[in-house]
A = this chain, B = another copy of it.
Amino acid sequence: MKKFSEWFHNILEEAELIDSRYPIKGMSVWLPRGFQIRKYALKALQELLDKDHEEVLFPMLIPESELAKEAIHVKGFEDEVYWVTKGGKRDLNEQLALRPTSETSMYPMFSLWVRSHMDLPIKVYQTVNTFRYETKHTRPLIRVREITTFNETHTVHATEEEAEEEVKTGIEIYKTFFDELGIPYSISKRPEWDKFPGSKYTMAFDMIMPDGKTLQIGTVHNLGTTFAKTFDIEFENDEGEHEYAHQTCYGLSDRVIAALISAHGDEKGLQLPPVVAPEQVVIVPIIFKENQDVVLNFTDNLEKLLKSNGIRVRQDKRDMRPGKKYYEWEKRGVPLRIEVGPRDIENKSIVLIRRDTGNKEFIDYDENTIADVVRDTLDNITEDMKVSANKFQEEKTYSVENLEQVKKTINKKGGIVTFNWCGDTDCGKDMEEKFDIDVLGTQEADVSGPCLNCGKEAHYKALISKTY
């Protein structure tokens, strides 16, 4: 997959996921197949969030006066906010922002909701569209002007400890979610100059894309009391004193789908983990005129049987060469194909072909066990896809010992390069400029000796890479 960028662009069209010909730059249409993948991914995420969070929905427009309240925050977004200035033919009294993210939409309401510690914690999330007036080169799902799928969780707590605990919860939820989708990640604490505007600190998930650049796929922010102070989110504690609440927020976007596609796709096309596949299994009956009824009778039964066991299955009876069907379903990424011909039925056997390994397995056919066999195979596919994608991320993560290696590795191999670092902003920015990379962030590690760049004492393991 040499030209990843071209491959990515083509697969969106060929696997019928996204139509990017919409007449506004950076905005695209979710086609039915793409929409379904998005839907199943969201479902998996929501099941995790629903255990301890409630779903809500806030308005899309934000008054300028609210957006402007938190100065550091607005500074981070002011260059990319779309503004509504007219209603009908009239100028509005106050211009309204299309939400770039929802802190300033939610927190004025939180201020009304929180009176005493009895009102805490608040743990809510929503899945909405958000907008960024991107001036850089746009790319579907990766750098867009309408983020059609922004899943954002916002929490409010009485104590700093609880907020810290929620950061951990958020990280655990995202880890589980990415693991289910077989999306590999490296977690680090973003450097000071790249944290979420207004936050105390930002934890981020990055995936190494096939071209060696990293894609930020999720972030978890501890907001401290900054927004609580700005939006007056305060409560009365047990002693009757007023305290500011501690907040967190964390989010995922369309990029999860980009990561999913990129982590698993190959020259043949898409590869979908079963959890998000619109069809987990496709049955292709091998039909000859003389045996048509026998075969279709068999495959119809098989289809019904799998369906009644909760497996998403589709039978492809179209009148065309089997080879052409295989090609199509492989391109669309269906994890498992079942072929059944007249000879197989005679032998009481069917053939399972895995999309991920290409493995062909002849299975003795038994109505009582076939659903379990298929389910086990799908589980194996899920596991193997995860292992394989994680392997790539690990192999592309290089620990280096000197500055020369940093430069060489980044330029020749791409991926993430890690080394001992002091953690100072000046030193970090110096590296970013010198090597034309980004400091993804730091990981706590047992580090000793000097910073690889400036020679001062090292405190962290730094992660750097070229980024999307």
A contacts, CB < 8 Å to B: 19, 21-24, 27-32, 35-36, 38-39, 54-61, 63, 65-66, 78-89, 95-96, 98, 108-109, 112, 124, 129, 133, 135, 146, 148
CB distance from A421 to the nearest CB of B (A): 33
* Cβ–Cβ contact A23 & B129, under 8 A: no
Residues in B neighbouring A112, C-beta threshold 8 A:
19, 21
Bound Cα distance A308, B130 (Å): 38
Question: Which 8 residue pairs across A and B have the least CB separation, nearest first?
Answer: A87-B133, A32-B54, A30-B57, A27-B59, A83-B86, A79-B88, A85-B85, A82-B84
* Cβ–Cβ contact A59 & B29, under 8 A: yes
Residues in B neighbouring A35, C-beta threshold 8 A:
54-57
* Cβ–Cβ contact A21 & B61, under 8 A: no
CB distance from A252 to the nearest CB of B (A): 17
CB distance from A191 to the nearest CB of B (A): 25
Q: Is the interface of A mostly helix, strand, loop or mixed?
A: mixed
Bound Cα distance A84, B85 (Å): 6
Partner of A24, one of B21, B57, B59: B59
Residues in B neighbouring A56, C-beta threshold 8 A:
29-32, 35
Which B residue's beta carbon lies closest to that of A94? Answer: B24
Residues in B neighbouring A86, C-beta threshold 8 A:
82-83, 85, 95
- For this complex, 12 residue pairs linking A to B, each with C-beta atoms less than 8 Å apart, are A19-B109, A21-B109, A23-B65, A24-B59, A24-B61, A29-B56, A29-B57, A60-B60, A79-B89, A82-B86, A83-B84, A85-B86
Which B residue's beta carbon lies closest to that of A36? Answer: B55
Bound Cα distance A86, B79 (Å): 10
Partner of A98, one of B28, B54, B84: B84
Most buried by B among A21, A23, A79: A23
Most buried by B among A21, A79, A86: A86
Chain multiplicity (copies) = 2
CB distance from A320 to the nearest CB of B (A): 14
Residues in B neighbouring A82, C-beta threshold 8 A:
61, 84, 86-87, 96
Which B residue's beta carbon lies closest to that of A77? Answer: B88
Which B residue's beta carbon lies closest to that of A80? Answer: B88
Bound Cα distance A96, B83 (Å): 10
* Cβ–Cβ contact A109 & B78, under 8 A: no
Residues in B neighbouring A30, C-beta threshold 8 A:
56-58
Residues in B neighbouring A29, C-beta threshold 8 A:
56-59, 109
Partner of A57, one of B21, B60, B148: B148
CB distance from A276 to the nearest CB of B (A): 15
Bound Cα distance A56, B28 (Å): 11
Bound Cα distance A436, B457 (Å): 82
Residues in B neighbouring A55, C-beta threshold 8 A:
32, 35-36, 39
CB distance from A36 to the nearest CB of B (A): 7
Most buried by B among A35, A38, A66: A35
Bound Cα distance A24, B82 (Å): 17
Known A-B contacts A23-B66, A32-B54; A146 and B88 likewise in contact (beta carbons under 8 Å): no
Most buried by B among A57, A78, A88: A57
CB distance from A451 to the nearest CB of B (A): 37
Partner of A63, one of B24, B59, B108, B146: B24
* Cβ–Cβ contact B146 & A61, under 8 A: yes
Partner of A109, one of B22, B32, B61, B63: B22
CB distance from A79 to the nearest CB of B (A): 4
Residues in B neighbouring A65, C-beta threshold 8 A:
23
Bound Cα distance A81, B87 (Å): 6
Residues in B neighbouring A129, C-beta threshold 8 A:
60, 129
